[in-house]
Structure 1
Amino acid sequence: MSAVTASLCSTLMFVLFVSADQKIITAESGQDVTLTCRAPNNNIIGVEWSRADLGDEQYVFLYRDGRFEPDDQHPSFKNRVELQDRQMKDGDVSLILKDVTINDAGTYECGVVQKEPNQMIPSLKLINTTYLHVAPPGE
C-alpha cells in the first residue's frame, strides 16, 4: 500500500467516524456538561435523550405531552439533567448533565418528535449523537 493510499484511507475513516451529526466532548469528572442539540423548527412535542447501553425504556431525559417524564429515566441521571432552554426556543433541546462521572462516558442520542402539518402520526427523528469522554480530575 502506498503512502498516499494509506493516508487517504485513514483520512476517510476519520471523516466517516466524525460526521456532521456526531460530536465528541471531553469533560473532567465533577464538571457540568452541555450536550448540544438543535431541531430544525419549533413544533416540538417530545424530546428524547438516550444512551444505547442503558437498556430498553431507560432514558437520560424524556419530555412528552408538555412535561418531563421522570418515571422512564435511568436512576443514575435522576436530579442531574435538565434542558438548557425549557422553552425550547429555536428548536434548542440541548441537555445539561451535572457533576459528570466516569460512568457517564458514552454515546448520547438526541431525538425529537415534531408536529408536522402533513403528518398523521408524529414520529421520533434522531437529530444527532454526542460521544462524551470523561477524564478523572486533573487529567
Structure 2
Amino acid sequence: MRERNILAGFHTEDEARQAEKALRQAGFTTIQIDKVGQFPGDGIEQITNPVSGDFPGLGVLTLAGDFPSGPDARVLAAANPDASGMSDRGDDNLTRTVLLTAVVAEERGDEATAIIRSHGGQI
C-alpha cells in the first residue's frame, strides 16, 4: 500500500492535539506531535530578573534556548535580531513551533490534509 507522509505546523499544542483527535476519529493511527524550534531546548523555566538573576546569556533569556555545546553557541544566538526584541518577525510560519506528523494511505491523503487544515495546521 502506498503511503503519504504529512508534516504540518501549528501555533499551539492544543491546536495540534485537536487535529490529532479528529484524525484518530477519522481512522488514522500513525500520528505524532513534537515541539520544534530554531534553537535547542526549552530555555529557562522560572521567572528571571535580568539585572540580578543568574542566567547563562541573552540567547537563553530571550530566545528560550539551551546551548549545551558551550558559550560560543550562546554568543552567536545573542547576535540574532530576535534576541534584542527589535525585530518584526512578521512571518507567520516562524511561530509554528508544534509539528504534527501523520502517515496515511495515499488514497486518504487529501482527507487527512483537509482535517489538519480545518484545525489551523499548515502543510
Per the normalisation by structure 2, the TM-score is 0.35
Per the normalisation by structure 1, the TM-score is 0.32
Greater share of strand? 1
With CA pairs under 8 Å and 6+ residues apart, which has the higher RCO, 1 or 2? 2
Larger radius of gyration: 2
